[in-house]
Every structure is written in C-alpha cells, then in structure tokens.
Amino acid sequence: MTSPLAAAHDLDAFRAAIRDWLPGAIPADWKGRIRRESEEGYLAVQREWYQAQTEAGLATAHWPRDWGGADLSLAAQVVLYEEMARADAPNTDLFTVSLYHMPATLFAYGTPEQRARYLEGVRTGGDIWCQGFSEPGAGSDLASLRTRAERRGDVYVVNGQKIWSSYGVFADYCLLLARTNQEAARKHDGISYFILDMKSPGLTVKPIRQITGEAEFAEIFFDDVEIPVENLIGAENEGWRIAQSTLTAERGLLIFENSERLVHAVRRDAARYRDLFARDPAKAAAFAGFYPRVRALKQMVGELLAQLERDPHGGGEIATYIKLYWATLLQDYNGFTARLDGLDALIEAEPLRCAGQTPDDTLYAFLKSYSWTVAGGSNEIMRNVIAERLLGLPR
C-alpha cells in the first residue's frame, strides 16, 4: 500500500489517505489484548502500532529529511493526530521520549556520531528512551538534583538516584541529567547531560506501582555506573541549558493529541449517557458545562500551534497556561463521569493503557488524571510560575 505521505502536500488528500490507512494499521482488538494480557499485551500492542507507523514512514515523519524524516508540516501533523483520535487508535506513549524529547535534544546539541547512531536506532530499531531528570529531592525544583557524575579518564562515574522515569522499565536508553560541578555558584550551573545505556553495570531499575495498578514510572539507582565520555551531550556543565530543548518538545502536538481525544470522549459520553440525561436535567446541565471548557482548551492549543509555526522555540507562556488548564479540566471531567457511573465504576478492571486520557473505564481515567496535576510541574508550581514570571506579581 502506498504510504499516506505521498499525499502530504495536499491536506485534504492526506486526511483521506490517513483514513484509508488506519483500519488496516491499528492492531486488532488492541483494547481487549491489553485488558487480557496486562503489561505483556500493552508492550506488544505498542510495538505493533509503532512498527505499522514506521513501515508507512509516519513514526518519524516530523523529523528533518536529513535524519530519516519527511519534514512533515505542522498542519499535516495536526491532520494525522486528528485522524488517529477519530479512529480511536492507541497512543504511542511508550515512544514519546524516543520520537520527541531525544531527537529535539540531539538535533540541537548532539554530535554527528550521536545523531547517526541513536536517531537511526529509533527510526528503524524501535529503541525506547526514558528521561532521568527528577529525583526524590528534586522534582519541581529540578535544578536541585544531586546525582553526581565524576570524570575518570574516558568515562564518567555516576552515583545517585532518579525517580518518576516514565516507562523506565522498558527503556533501552535514558536522557540523564547529573551534577558534574559541586562548586558552581548557582545550582542551575554544574549540571551535565548524558546518554545512558540502560543495560550498564551498576544500574538498578525498580517499577513504581501507581494507584491505577500499573507501573508506568520507575526509580533508577546508580552505583558506580560508567558512561563513556562520548555520551556527553554538548559541553560539560551546560546540561541545564540543553535540557530546555528537551522540555520544549512536550509542548504543541503532544497536548494537541490529548485535547483532540478529549473532544471525541465528550461526544462519545454524550451518546452513552443520553438516557440518563433525559431523566436528570441537572446532570445534563452539568455535563453541558464541559463543552465551553473543551472549546476553550482547543482555542488555546490552536494558538500555541500557531505560535510554534511562527517560531519553533516559542509558545512558552501559553504552554504554561495550557498545562494548568488541561490538568484541571481533565480531572474535573473524569471525576464527573466516574460519579455518573456510580457503583458500576468501582468494579476493578485491568488498566487500559495507551487509550488516551478518557478511556471507557471511568474510574481508571479519574485516578489517572491526577498524574497531570503533578507531572511536568505540579498545579501549585504552575500557578506560581504564572503569577511570578508571567504576570509579574510579587513573591
């Protein structure tokens, strides 16, 4: 079958091509397989779905042509995510760092050798990457990290601990921040950025079981772990500045995909609860209150995408507002639908991972929504950032 990318120059034709391609590409019975097979089913579905996108050239289509991509325009990427959400395709969440954070970092600061090796590993080998940023004492205040990397000849020797590493138990490689200068005048200085092989001796990875029953996160422990000098990204002690390239990859299309899936969830739930709303006008009115909130979210995300199209490094201010708004809206919406389901929502089911933020299992979706109020900066931190940095209010 011809790749949908052949029609990417014409958005209407590209949309039609994606719609034709999706039915045969989405893993069959993927929701049932994850529910029946738990973690093994999730991993299998993720790899099958990633392979299907790779064969069609879509997985890395947003990358530059020089590095195996297709220079897919932002508008075409929006069409792709819209159609995936419409088709209720699984998220490719296991490869988020591989497809966005790692390439954003190496495109800007990696050596030619690093780009050739690690980008190709993702493009054709399906390598899974995670991030080693947060620590038990350095979550929202990431610059306080204490994991140390000491240069000894041709290697850096790392000791310390990382936590909340998404998909760390599956990862082949890790984007690691570690302190290389203990005497730096500012805590933001003296941090370096490394590529870590997750099979390195002295490395211990432990899953963190969440309230949903899944182990999406992991702790990573370092006991004299050696990292070759050639795995340093950029200059030594410049890691904090380089990390901003990684963090900007969380903006734009990733939140667009989530918001688009929420739109479809609201439509689906409107039909699912039609009879209940006919009997209970108060619940119908409360549900209707989510429509303007979802529309506001789409407007904000649309403005973010417009800013990113003008400047790929822009959008920082509105992205902060969106993060806070999205986390609150998601929690409110999933809490509302869980209450609508009442006791039926309390029946335990296998977590339906990679089904977006509003899967059919309303209690799981509600519990899962709390992660957004913490990940990437807690709601409290986001409010402080908005107040102090964006609005200029006194501390």
Which active-site residues does the annotation give? 250
Exposure string over 277-286, b if 16+ CB within 10 A, otherwise e: beeeeeeeee
CA–CA gap between residue 189 and residue 23 (Å, rounded): 50
Task: Go through the chain and tell me how many residues it has.
Answer: 395
- Strands annotated E in 191-341: 191-197, 203-208, 217-228, 232-233
- Neighbour tally for 290: CB within 10 Å: 19
Distance CA 102, CA 114 (A): 11
Q: Which residues contact 262 (CB under 8 A, 6 or more apart)?
A: 294, 297, 329, 330, 333, 356, 357, 358
**Helix, strand or coil, per DSSP, at residue 319:** helix
Of residues 14, 108, 125, the one with CA closest to residue 5: 14
Task: Retrieve residue 1's tokens.
Answer: 């079958």
Q: Which of 135, 196, 195 is nearest to 163 (CA)?
A: 135
Q: Which structure tokens are listed for 300?
A: 């904000």
Residues 6+ apart with CB under 8 A from 38: 350
Sorted by sequence, the CB contacts under 8 Å of residue 295 that are 6+ apart come out as: none
Alpha helices, H only, 177-280: 239-248, 253-272, 274-279
Structure tokens at 366: 């509600």
Look at residues 39, 41, 80 and name the one whose alpha carbon lies nearest to residue 59. Answer: 80
Q: Distance between CA atoms of 240 and 1, rounded to whole angstroms?
A: 45
The number of beta carbons lying within 10 Å of the beta carbon of residue 209 is 10
Angle at CA of residue 161, ends 157 and 165, nearest 5°: 115
Residues 6+ apart with CB under 8 A from 307: 314, 315, 318
